[in-house]
Amino acid sequence: MRIRTTSFRSTLPRTHSPRDTLDRDTLAHEMKTEASFPLAQASGALPHSLTASVGSEWIVDAYGCEPRVLQDLKVIAQICEDAVAYLGLQVLGQPQQHAFPGHGGVTAMYMLSESHLACHTYPEHRLATFNLYCCRDRPGWNWQKQLEDRLGSTEVLVRRVERGNLVTQRMAQRGQE
């Protein structure tokens, strides 16, 4: 069986000479060695299922927060560090944090081996926003309880988005042609 890979060949590591098609064993080997590409065993035509996402993204908005707390860099940093620790994530380098002058908010950025965590606060709107992207499956963190308890938020909206599903679905469809 030969699999045409012209549309996604560049997303896989190259361990052989360029060509338009890869045999099934070569494709399977390349996919197994791509650490950030989560794959599950399947009984279909391909050696692995390509319908899994390439990552999960949590987009969190906390409304009605206490403005003074949203200006406190230590509080925001502790929330970020606790989320990272609970989820078993690995911080790369030093987190970047900035408190804006006057009545401004806080920005915190964490580069993770699994991707990133960012927080931006807006005391003037009583709002804190968080964005966590992970390329590996993780358990949930109770954003609502944590942000209600620590920021005094009155409402927390948590959205989880599975990223890359369309790409992996198209790859699977091409592999079955």
Question: What amino acid positions are annotated as catalytic residues?
Answer: 115, 120, 135
* Alpha-helix residue ranges (DSSP H) falling in 12-163: 24-33, 67-70, 73-86, 143-151
Task: Give dist(CA 103, CA 97) in Å, integer.
Answer: 16
Q: What is the 3-state secondary structure (H, E, C) of 116-142?
A: EEEEEEEHHHCEEEEEEEECCCCCCCC
Task: Give dist(CA 71, CA 29) in Å, integer.
Answer: 49
Name residue, tokens 């109770």: 142
DSSP for residue 36: T
Amino acid at 41: Q
Residues 76/119, Cβ–Cβ less than 8 Å: yes
Task: Report residue 73 as tokens.
Answer: 């860099």
Taking each continuous run of H as one helix and of E as one strand, the counts in the chain are 5, 10
